[in-house]
Amino acid sequence: MADTPSSTPHPAAEPLNALISSDKLAFRAALDQLFVALRADWLLYETRADLNSEPGMELGDTAASAWSLASAGLRAVRDMRAAHPDLRTAAGQMLRAVEDGMPNQSDLLQLSGALFDLARSQKAAAPDLHALLMEAQALIEAWRGNLALMGLPRAA
């Protein structure tokens, strides 16, 4: 019985250096801040918090800080000489939308498509980079969805 080979495949582990490279970590941190910013913006909209109230000021401050940190993180990746070229490209494209402050649906749709194309080009060569770029694309789609919902008339 002990000589029976395992039926569970043993996947090869990713090299540790690929997981902790500084460009990917910086891009991941920027995506995390973008998520925090989008969530704070949504909560501010959803709760109809008055910006002059304590909860409204807190949500507004959280959103402003997160947008600023996301911008700084994307700028850092874009300017990293040793960063993967596709990550630098993605960071530069995302930075334009983040710094715009209020991109329109068309801008975000184009950005989403560009990120998807970058991710698709890395699918076979660098699965970890593919996953990171797909997550960036998903965040842009969430942003686009938030803006579409915020643009709809609200019931009283």
Q: For the chain, how long is the longest CA-to-CA vector?
A: 72
Global pTM? 0.82
Please name which of 80, 79, 65, 76 lies closest in space to residue 33, comparing C-alpha atoms: 65
What letter represents residue 92's amino acid? Answer: G
Q: For residue 98, what pLDDT is reported?
A: 93
Convert 46-59 to b/e letters by CB count within 10 Å (16 or more is b).
eeebeeeeeeeeeb
- Return the percentage of the chain with pLDDT > 70, whole number: 85
Please name which of 119, 87, 93, 89 lies closest in space to residue 23, comparing C-alpha atoms: 87
- The mean predicted confidence, pLDDT, of the chain is 87
The model's pLDDT over 58-94, given as tens digits with 9 standing for 90+, comes to: 888 998 999 999 999 999 999 999 999 999 999 999 9
Low-confidence ranges of the chain (pLDDT < 50): none
Q: For residue 44, what pLDDT is reported?
A: 86
Q: For residue 51, what pLDDT is reported?
A: 78
Q: For residue 139, what pLDDT is reported?
A: 96
